[in-house]
Amino acid sequence: MVNEAATSISIVDDAFARVKDQTPLDSALIPLLQAVQNALGYLPAPALQRIARLLHLSESQVLGVATFYHQFQLRPTGQHVITLCQGTACHVANANEIHQFLVQHLQIPPDDDTSPDGVFTIQRVRCLGACSLAPILKIDDDIYGHVTLPKLPRILAHYTQHDRTKRAPTPSANTEAHPHAPHG
């Protein structure tokens, strides 16, 4: 924990050194949060505290911005992030059933969003902007449209097999992905 805190503070300090002369301090909060998020994949409490001190803000102000924007995570995420659309078209096309299946299949505990093995995190979003593909989900940068419950195990297996073999996905192995669909 001490090492993690030191690392996150170091990342904040490095990012602050880059933005302090280029950005007014009252506009530096989001770039600093993004720098930590990009480096660590989430925003640990020591980083938020350091940002608050550097920008002369309260910790609650920093936390308020970090929790307002969907792009920021306060907990570590899985190796792969599943973004599940909850927009009207996807909702009507059974997005809730897809979410329930994913939670059960990945054995995600109540009040959590990451699988116990740390491989997958599920995020529900208002819209991914590809309603004609409903229901739609995104895993990392891959878009899957017209998702059905029977397709889900094969889609998920692609990512767990990819992790075991460390090969990049290929279009032939990933026929449901829509690489040119809009990324929400």
pLDDT, tens digit, 9 for 90 and up, residues 44-64: 999 999 999 999 999 999 999
Average pLDDT score over residue span 115-123: 94
Q: pLDDT for 84-111, tens place per residue?
A: 999 999 999 999 999 999 999 999 998 8
User: Model confidence at 160, in pLDDT bands (50, 70, 90)?
Assistant: confident
> CB within 8 A of 155, min separation 6: which ones?
139, 144, 147, 176
CATH 1.10.10 segments of the chain: 2-68
Most trustworthy range by pLDDT among 9-13, 31-35, 98-102: 98-102
Strands (E), the chain: 80-85, 120-125, 137-139, 142-144
Q: 47: number of CA atoms within 13 Å, CB side?
A: 31
Q: Does domain 2-68 sit in CATH 1.10.10?
A: yes
Q: Give CA separation, 96 vs 4, 43, 180, in Å.
A: 36, 28, 25
Q: How many percent of the chain have pLDDT more than 90?
A: 64
pLDDT at position 171, please? 37
Average pLDDT score over residue span 147-159: 94
Superfamily (CATH H level) for 80-173: Glutaredoxin (3.40.30.10)
User: Model confidence at 29, in pLDDT bands (50, 70, 90)?
Assistant: very high
Average pLDDT score over residue span 73-88: 92
pLDDT at position 116, please? 94
Average pLDDT over the chain reads 86
Q: Is the pLDDT of residue 162 over 80?
A: no
